[in-house]
Amino acid sequence: MSFLTTYPVNDFGPAMKGMVIGGLGIFHVFLAQFAIGGGMLMAYFQWLAMTGREPRAREVLDSYFKYLILVSFVTGALTGVAMWFTSIQISPTTIGQMVDVFHWVWATEWLFFWVEVIAGYAFYRWGKLLSDRARLTLLLIYSVSGYGSLFWINGILSWQLTPGDWVQTRSLWVGFFNQTFWPSLLYRTIACMVIAGLVAAVVVNTMTSLERETRTRLIHHAARFMLPILAMPVIGLWFLAALPEDSRGWVMGGSIAMTMFLNLAVGASALIGGYVVVGLWKQRLTINGATATLLLALAFGASAGGEFVREGARKPYTIREVLYSNAIGEDEVEHLRKVGCTTRDPYPLLEPYPTAQLTLGARTFRNQCGICHTMAGVNALEHLMGSWTIEQQRMNVAKLQWTKGFMPPFAGTAEELEALVQLVRWEHAKRPPNFPESHDPKVLAEIERWLEEAGPRPASEPRPLLATEAR
């Protein structure tokens, strides 16, 4: 498959591109999950009220809980649109592929989303006028369609991480029901429910017009929504087991940042789970507003950690075994090493550089490294490699996938690599206005040799034998 279609290339200055999507994604996921779980909880409370199991549950429905769901629903949708907007700026190739492969799935997801919008709005607008049965029906439609949109999007997101046999078969359903589909879906289902339960606990605490016992009863009902968190360890292990070995390695010690995020997710979930079980179920303690808010903050942390792990575990790919994070196809590396990675980038740079070589370096940087690094800001190349010797700089970039396994192989010519190294050195020297170019053929030949030694394949595949080892 070729990805040689030329999409515009954007520069975001000091912001690391990947982080822009990641940061936005966390808010989006949290809000959207609350909107879905909140709908389910409202249906449950409606049922409690109309069957006489808990008549006062209706007051929760008519309180500002309803508005919270509405707000999260609207902001969830807005951040969703913002995600599309940024990701097509940042990685149009990936989005292009996703739309290509999952065209109809995505259309279906949109249909569910629209039903969710209409049902949610109808409840908000006319809920008070409707009969109990109609209210329940509307809330069930809202919940089922909201959950449906999660179901469809989950197949696409988990396919990016573990496309599995799709890579060979190109069968839509093989890609959709991939090996992380079910653990991810269950994980997200539980997250939706726990977040909704916690928000409900916060809201009930503020409803001082209710007597204490009523509040306690309502909170216990909300706590039922948090109980599935007890299944989280099993689902987490299932998810980890379904990950390819290298990805599992990153989150379990291989990458410090990823391991930290995994620990954050696990730790925060364990605290919530522990509190729910011990506090609510065993001793029948009530959960006060401050605690509920704290637990909610932990849930946000757990969500953030979980999303980071999912995004991070995919490195160096946006679509595993197909497309690297920098939008270079796995099967394009060899070709780009011959023709160069900058030839398909005719777009202007943000700033002028003093020499043609530095300009080439800046283009190489933005085509291959800019998605995960900045030059001098977050995760900056200047900081990571500026003080290395020039040989180290050249060799470690030529053997990029072996320098750190979560980086893709270098996919450009020796000239581009040298230009990138010179750019880092120029940056490290505090950008002097006069900077000599370097075009030593011996150096370029050495870089070629290193590129060959590293091979064009990712680090998840066995390293090629070196010429000296083969003998």
Binding interface with ligand HEC (CB under 6 A): 315-316, 325-326, 368-369, 371-373, 379, 381, 384-385, 396-397, 400, 403-404, 406-408, 410, 420
| Choice between 202 and 397, CB closer to ligand HEC | 397
* Alpha carbons 108 and 111: distance in angstroms, whole number: 5
Distance of CA 2 to CAs 338, 410, 448, Å?
15, 17, 24
* Alpha carbons 398 and 396: distance in angstroms, whole number: 5
Q: What is the closest distance, in whole angstroms, from the C-beta atom of residue 274 to ligand HEC in the complex?
A: 32
Q: What is the closest distance, in whole angstroms, from the C-beta atom of residue 411 to ligand HEC in the complex?
A: 8
CB atoms within 10 A of CB 437: 13
| Residue whose token pair is 């589909």 | 181
Task: Please report the beta strands in 266-339, taking only residues with DSSP state E, as ranges in sequence order.
Answer: 317-319, 323-324
| Choice between 26 and 369, CB closer to ligand HEC | 369
Q: What is the closest distance, in whole angstroms, from the C-beta atom of residue 257 to ligand HEC in the complex?
A: 7
| Choice between 72 and 396, CB closer to ligand HEC | 396
Q: What is the closest distance, in whole angstroms, from the C-beta atom of residue 178 to ligand HEC in the complex?
A: 21
| Choice between 203 and 264, CB closer to ligand HEC | 264
Question: Is 343 within 8 Å of 391 (Cβ atoms)?
Answer: no
Cis geometry, peptide bond prior to residue 55 (ω within 30 degrees of 0): no
| Residue whose token pair is 């299932």 | 238
Q: What is the closest distance, in whole angstroms, from the C-beta atom of residue 241 to ligand HEC in the complex?
A: 24
| Choice between 403 and 438, CB closer to ligand HEC | 403
Q: What is the closest distance, in whole angstroms, from the C-beta atom of residue 360 to ligand HEC in the complex?
A: 13
Q: What is the closest distance, in whole angstroms, from the C-beta atom of residue 455 to ligand HEC in the complex?
A: 16
Q: What is the closest distance, in whole angstroms, from the C-beta atom of residue 420 to ligand HEC in the complex?
A: 6
Distance of CA 376 to CAs 89, 124, 397, 405, Å?
21, 49, 17, 22
| Residue whose token pair is 């490195």 | 315
Q: What is the closest distance, in whole angstroms, from the C-beta atom of residue 334 to ligand HEC in the complex?
A: 16
Q: Which of 136, 228, 246, 141 is nearest to 185 (CA)?
A: 228
Q: What is the closest distance, in whole angstroms, from the C-beta atom of residue 322 to ligand HEC in the complex?
A: 14
How far from the centroid of its chain's Cα atoms is residue 431's Cα?
Answer: 35
How far from the centroid of its chain's Cα atoms is residue 117's Cα?
Answer: 24
Reading the block at residue 388, the tokens are: 């290395």
In our burial notation (b when 16+ CB lie closer than 10 A, e otherwise), range 129-138 reads eeeeeebbeb
Q: What is the closest distance, in whole angstroms, from the C-beta atom of residue 316 to ligand HEC in the complex?
A: 4
| Choice between 295 and 385, CB closer to ligand HEC | 385
| Choice between 54 and 416, CB closer to ligand HEC | 416
| Choice between 298 and 419, CB closer to ligand HEC | 419
3-state secondary structure 152-221: HHHHHHHHHHCCCCHHHHCCHHHHHCCCCHHHHHHHHHHHHHHHHHHHHHHHHHHCCCCCHHHHHHHHHH
Non-local (6+) Cβ contacts of 4 within 8 A are 332, 344
* Alpha carbons 90 and 371: distance in angstroms, whole number: 8
| Choice between 98 and 193, CB closer to ligand HEC | 98
| Choice between 31 and 90, CB closer to ligand HEC | 90
| Choice between 69 and 385, CB closer to ligand HEC | 385
| Residue whose token pair is 């109980």 | 227
- Which sign does the torsion angle of CA 394, 398, 403, 406 carry? positive
